[in-house]
Chain A
Amino acid sequence: MSIPSRSSLSRRRVLGGVTGVAGCIAVAEQAVASGLADVPPRVPGGPLGLTSPRSQYVHIGRVPESTPGKRPVDPSDAINSKTPLHNLLGTITPADQHYERSHAGVPNIDPTEHRLLVHGMAQRNLVLTMDDLHAMPSTSRIGFVECTGNGWENWKTASPDLTVQQTHGLISTNEWTGVPLSFLIDLVGVDPRSTWMLAEGGDGAAVARSIPLTDEIMAEAILAYGQNGEPLRPAHGFPLRLFMPGFEGNLNIKWLRRLKFGDRPFMTRWETARYTQLQANGKARQFQLRQEVNSVITAPSGTMKIRRGYNPVTGLAWSGHGRIIRVEVSTDGAKTWTDALINMPALPKAQTRFSTHWVWDGKPTKIVSRSTDEKGNVQPDRATFIQATGTNALFHYNAQQTWAIDDNGAVRNVLS
């Protein structure tokens, strides 16, 4: 891509430039044809297939991870796998690039043998097959699922060599299809006094979480069997999972096999010993279930190198409270801010693409983004966030991400 002067840029060209740069990053180094005569001639292509693989020139993939600061990680030792945010375009994550976190591996479940038990404080205790669920009314919704631990690399220190995949790759956005939870609630006649629901998976650990039956959750939760237009991938819960728009990833129970209605939280290991956030005073926040307003610049981002002059800037913003209505970008270390363009539609509780551009003068600087959601929540700067939370929480990190740029144009991860 040639570098246009700032004055010649139309909006259309800016957006085109964003796509071009982000797209280049995933593509392998290739010989540059010096003239049109050097471009290889057209030839008949290969036969049609039952599936369409990625181009051999595109290399994108997730990275396995075990715990903050431990790198590299052998996949057999990994507890999660991160989405290559810097290689993706738009807002939808390909299913095979959706981040993954499991607690006892990925079970291989035959859907004809899978059962969902629905019981507890309800008029009817039911056993449902996947055929039963497929026969029910369905709905679809595009939304993010974000691991409670996303951002956990940067609680205490910032390793300068991290990519945005490593700092923020525990979030993905897919379209999820399935049965509205509200339909199940009516179907079994849940006792009006029931205020909590236990959701349990069919994985080895039988991961189980208590879910508060708020009006919002009852209206929005989905028992999902579809993902981006196809049945769930095994890693994401095949044949059935919960989709809980806006709430921490661990609540989106995969391989769902039991729902139990009760009148208080069940206090499983995951909502006591695991996904609770230790504050500076030694007390732990519990049932901090919503994913807060967040954003990150995906290009330029960690380990990339930029050139002096025109640079497109793009990234992703999201909030568990609803829509993103504003994203601001600073290219001078959070001293001044410019509104970025938000790509429409900016869906509630889904990743939203933002972009702007910038002419770099070649001097070291820092670039930052901050997002605002429709409820008025503004993504906090790191100092404010740490002041309120301390550095031991491990989960629910949503401070602004800063990328430092040195005088060679090298981009690296810093705390602020």
Chain B
Amino acid sequence: MSCPSRFAFVLAIAAALAEPACAQDFGRPARPDEINLWNIDVRPDGAGLPKGHGTVAQGRSLFEDNCLACHGEKGVGGIADRLSGGRGTLTSDHPLKTIGSFWPYATTLFDYVRRAMPYTAPGTLSDDDTYSLVAYLLSLNGVVPANATLDRASLLAIKMPNRDGFVPDEAFVNSRNYRQP
């Protein structure tokens, strides 16, 4: 087992303790089941996207019960972010950045809804409910049809309208560091 070594002061502390500061000195190993509990991120390549499925119709019902109060009917006109429309406005003086006009990945929508929504009870939506809500939100934006069912494979197959609308800064697009082989 290797020990921390980068900082001189770390070495000094380790020497002072006459025992190296190794991993077993701090914390405990994380159990796989508890990692699964907290490992909620979903990447565009599908990593982290769970099993399950949901329909636009189920999503509409969930939306009306949990989301409409803040986001407005069909995701427009509420006190919180507008969720649909805005296509073709990104070069105008008043761009409308919504799921349909701006968000580059459907996986990010799944991730965000599941981690952060509904605002008053984040983390309470089941995976099936999340698929349903994502299906409904995408149908509001014309990305999937009104009778769509979404699951892992069909969500991953979606190309969002503004998928090619982002230009990553060169400084970070190929992040590298001295530790790399």
Q: B119 and A204: CB pair below 8 A?
A: yes
Q: A183 and B116: CB pair below 8 A?
A: no
Contact among B2, B26, B95 for A132, CB-based, below 8 A: B26
CB under 8 Å from chain A, chain B span 11-32:
13, 21, 23, 25-30
**Interface membership of B74, Cβ < 8 A:** no
**Interface membership of B111, Cβ < 8 A:** yes
Contact among A280, A287, A392 for B168, CB-based, below 8 A: A287
Query: From residue A124, how far is it (CB to closest CB) to chain B in Å?
Result: 5
Q: B116 and A267: CB pair below 8 A?
A: no
**Interface membership of A186, Cβ < 8 A:** yes
Contact among B13, B108, B169, B179 for A285, CB-based, below 8 A: B169
**Interface membership of A365, Cβ < 8 A:** no
Q: B168 and A286: CB pair below 8 A?
A: yes
Residues of chain B within 8 A of A117, CB atoms compared: 30, 34-35, 38
- Docked Cα-Cα span, A180 to B21, in Å, equals 14
Q: B178 and A215: CB pair below 8 A?
A: yes
With A126-B29, A206-B122 in contact, is A186–B6 under 8 Å at CB? yes
Q: A218 and B30: CB pair below 8 A?
A: no
Query: From residue A215, how far is it (CB to closest CB) to chain B in Å?
Result: 5
Among residues of B, the one whose C-beta sits closest to the C-beta of A198 is B41
With A137-B13, A182-B6 in contact, is A104–B26 under 8 Å at CB? no
**Interface membership of B136, Cβ < 8 A:** no
Q: A212 and B26: CB pair below 8 A?
A: no
Query: From residue B138, how far is it (CB to closest CB) to chain A in Å?
Result: 14
Q: B28 and A126: CB pair below 8 A?
A: yes
Q: A272 and B104: CB pair below 8 A?
A: yes
- Docked Cα-Cα span, A158 to B115, in Å, equals 37
**Interface membership of B126, Cβ < 8 A:** no
Q: A137 and B166: CB pair below 8 A?
A: no
- Docked Cα-Cα span, A124 to B28, in Å, equals 10
Q: A289 and B4: CB pair below 8 A?
A: no
Residues of chain B within 8 A of A108, CB atoms compared: none
Q: B7 and A125: CB pair below 8 A?
A: no
Among residues of A, the one whose C-beta sits closest to the C-beta of B48 is A266
Residues of chain B within 8 A of A187, CB atoms compared: 4, 23, 26
With A117-B38, A192-B180 in contact, is A278–B95 under 8 Å at CB? yes
Query: From residue B111, how far is it (CB to closest CB) to chain A in Å?
Result: 7
With A183-B10, A283-B166 in contact, is A132–B27 under 8 Å at CB? yes
CB under 8 Å from chain A, chain B span 115-140:
115-116, 119, 122-123
Interface-central residue, A135, A187, A214, A215, by most chain B CB under 10 Å: A187
Q: A282 and B103: CB pair below 8 A?
A: no
Among residues of A, the one whose C-beta sits closest to the C-beta of B170 is A287
With A127-B34, A206-B122, A267-B107 in contact, is A186–B26 under 8 Å at CB? no
Q: Render A178-202 as a binary contact track against B, CB cut-off 8 A, 1 for contact.
A: 0010110011111011011010100
Residues of chain B within 8 A of A276, CB atoms compared: 166
Q: B115 and A218: CB pair below 8 A?
A: no
Q: A287 and B169: CB pair below 8 A?
A: yes
Residues of chain A within 8 A of B34, CB atoms compared: 117, 127
CB under 8 Å from chain A, chain B span 32-75:
34-35, 38-41, 43-45
Contact among A118, A214, A260, A269 for B176, CB-based, below 8 A: A214
Residues of chain A within 8 A of B154, CB atoms compared: none
**Interface membership of A258, Cβ < 8 A:** yes
Q: B6 and A195: CB pair below 8 A?
A: no
Q: A124 and B173: CB pair below 8 A?
A: no
With A205-B116, A267-B44 in contact, is A104–B122 under 8 Å at CB? yes
Q: A288 and B169: CB pair below 8 A?
A: yes
- Docked Cα-Cα span, A71 to B112, in Å, equals 29
Residues of chain B within 8 A of A128, CB atoms compared: 26-27
CB under 8 Å from chain B, chain A span 130-182:
132, 135-137, 156, 180, 182
- Docked Cα-Cα span, A265 to B44, in Å, equals 9
Residues of chain B within 8 A of A416, CB atoms compared: none
Query: From residue A268, how far is it (CB to closest CB) to chain B in Å?
Result: 7
Among residues of A, the one whose C-beta sits closest to the C-beta of B181 is A192
Q: B23 and A273: CB pair below 8 A?
A: no
Among residues of A, the one whose C-beta sits closest to the C-beta of B35 is A119
- Docked Cα-Cα span, A272 to B181, in Å, equals 29
- Docked Cα-Cα span, A214 to B176, in Å, equals 6
Residues of chain B within 8 A of A190, CB atoms compared: 179
Residues of chain A within 8 A of B35, CB atoms compared: 117, 119, 125
Q: A137 and B178: CB pair below 8 A?
A: no
Contact among B5, B28, B93, B176 for A195, CB-based, below 8 A: B176
Residues of chain B within 8 A of A288, CB atoms compared: 169
**Interface membership of A284, Cβ < 8 A:** yes
Q: A186 and B5: CB pair below 8 A?
A: yes
- Docked Cα-Cα span, A120 to B140, in Å, equals 35
Residues of chain A within 8 A of B104, CB atoms compared: 267, 272
Closest CB pairs A-B (n = 4): A212-B175, A186-B4, A269-B112, A128-B27
Q: List 11 A-B contacts (CB under 8 A).
A: A117-B34, A127-B27, A186-B5, A195-B175, A204-B116, A258-B38, A273-B99, A273-B112, A278-B97, A285-B166, A391-B93
A-contacting residues of B (Cβ < 8 Å)? 2-7, 9-10, 13, 21, 23, 25-30, 34-35, 38-41, 43-45, 90-91, 93, 95, 97, 99, 102-105, 107-109, 111-112, 115-116, 119, 122-123, 165-169, 171-173, 175-181
Instruction: Apart from A127-B29, A282-B165, list 10 A-B contacts with CB within 8 A.
Output: A117-B38, A126-B27, A129-B27, A213-B179, A214-B175, A269-B108, A273-B108, A278-B90, A278-B97, A392-B95
